[in-house]
Structure 1
Amino acid sequence: MKPGRVRVHIDRLVLRGIPREQRDAFVAAFEKELSRQFAQAQPHGALRARHAPTLEAGRLQLPGSSGPKQLGLQAARALALGLKG
């Protein structure tokens, strides 16, 4: 069976508390992890179709030493969980 296509369009990503110079690293980690999460979705039908103006991923609580890459990874996991569940 051929896997279905997953299309995600994020019009705006609000990054409060992340310094401007760290945003590119956050976004790169976010995109990479989100792609990985969707590739692992088994079966692909487990992802719920959604068209929502806003999808809240909730607050992410990480140790103060976490950098933008770790935060991007956690944010992508939270978003994927919201789409899967």
Structure 2
Amino acid sequence: MTRLVLHIDRLVLTGIDRHDADAVAAGVQAELQRLLAQPGALGALTGGGDRPRIRAGSVPVPHGGNGHAMGQAIAGGIARGVKP
């Protein structure tokens, strides 16, 4: 059995209101769980070995969206940054 452990020690979010932080974090967590549970996702990720840092780069977030939607967009950027 292959196991993936993902630690996010620091997530830099420029321009996001502090009041949205919990909703953004919940959106990131839920979307990463969904993306990484898809068939074949784990195999694509484990081929790259340990990675001390992932740079997701700029992630477009929906204007007027809620914190959860922002978190989903951020998780998509993280998932793209993790894949080899």
TM-score of the aligned structures, taking structure 2 as reference length: 0.82
In 2, the alpha carbon distance for the partners of 1:83 and 1:74 equals 15
Partner of 2:34: 36
Structure 1's consecutive aligned runs of 4 or more residues displaced over 4 angstroms after TM superposition are: none
Distance 1:83 1:41, change over 3 A: farther
Q: Which ranges in structure 1 are unaligned for 5 or more consecutive residues?
A: none
Q: Which ranges in structure 2 are unaligned for 5 or more consecutive residues?
A: none
Secondary structure of the residue aligned to 2:37 is: helix
Percentage of pairs with the same residue: 37
Corresponding residue pairs, total:
82
**Does structure 1 residue 45 correspond to structure 2 residue 43?**
yes
In 2, the alpha carbon distance for the partners of 1:33 and 1:20 equals 20
Partner of 2:67: 68
Aligned residue identity for 1:28: A
Distance 1:41 1:76, change over 3 A: farther
CA RMSD of aligned residues (A): 1.7
TM-score of the aligned structures, taking structure 1 as reference length: 0.82
